[in-house]
A and B are shown apart, each in its own frame.
Chain A
């Protein structure tokens, strides 16, 4: 049932590579990048101050690493009023270590921080699906916070042909 685009090991290697690249990369950063120096170079660009603020509030300065999150969305959404979303993870849901929150962010929506799902180990695992509105073609971010303080992200770019936000 869990559809991961990449294995946890691969995701881990990728996040290591991203972290290393981040250390090597230098040069002037834009204001949004400064706010969000925590994300890796392969991650979708932070498009504006609002999204930078949201990511900063969620991460609290911790690195946002790519991996462990499967954000399943259509490549093309023909009706932006109803776009299906499925969020899953292979991270544990035990009393000692669990996913305590998942944040859904749609970069170019009027209200970018679309939803927050606060969870407990009683759910047994993470598989959440719902339907959302999208104004236009953009990146969607699922940012996951664990009880031990790790922050993981999955991204999905959705082409929107009919504006669902007015």
Chain B
């Protein structure tokens, strides 16, 4: 899934959010997450290539930081909770072991009742 667009990422939050809701944030990014233990068709080793850090900010403040190894599956997904107590951007930045950073944001806005 999404395997041909390295670093393409999606974040999904509920459609209608009200202030104070505890919401689930779903995310996925396209990345091979190569362990370095496999070889290609020619028998050459495939070097380790994986997302090693994910930083989550909400309204400009860091709320979570995930340190990963190549033990996370290909095209990493992660779902976590968030207390929606302010309107603002929820941003995730995934950084791989070659130094590339991939960023995705979603706006957290409150539904008018």
> Interface of A with B (CB < 8 Å)?
81-83, 106, 109-111, 113-133, 164-166
The smallest C-beta distance from A109 to any residue of chain B, in angstroms, reads 6
> Interface of B with A (CB < 8 Å)?
22, 24, 35, 37-38, 58, 61-74, 76-83, 85
Task: Tell whether A123 pairs with B82 under 8 Å between CB atoms, given A110-B37, A115-B66, A115-B67.
Answer: yes
A109 and chain B: residue at smallest CB distance: B71
Task: Tell whether A122 pairs with B63 under 8 Å between CB atoms, given A110-B37, A129-B78, A165-B37.
Answer: yes
Tell me which residues across on chain A come within 8 A of B63, comparing CB atoms: 119-120, 122-123
Contact A131 B64 (CB under 8 A): no
The smallest C-beta distance from B92 to any residue of chain A, in angstroms, reads 13
Task: Tell whether A82 pairs with B73 under 8 Å between CB atoms, given A110-B37, A122-B61, A124-B22.
Answer: yes
The smallest C-beta distance from B45 to any residue of chain A, in angstroms, reads 10
Contact A122 B22 (CB under 8 A): no
Task: Tell whether A166 pairs with B81 under 8 Å between CB atoms, given A82-B73, A117-B64, A122-B63.
Answer: no
Contact A118 B64 (CB under 8 A): yes
CA distance A127 to B24 in the complex (A): 9
Tell me which residues across on chain B come within 8 A of A106, comparing CB atoms: 71
Contact A125 B81 (CB under 8 A): yes
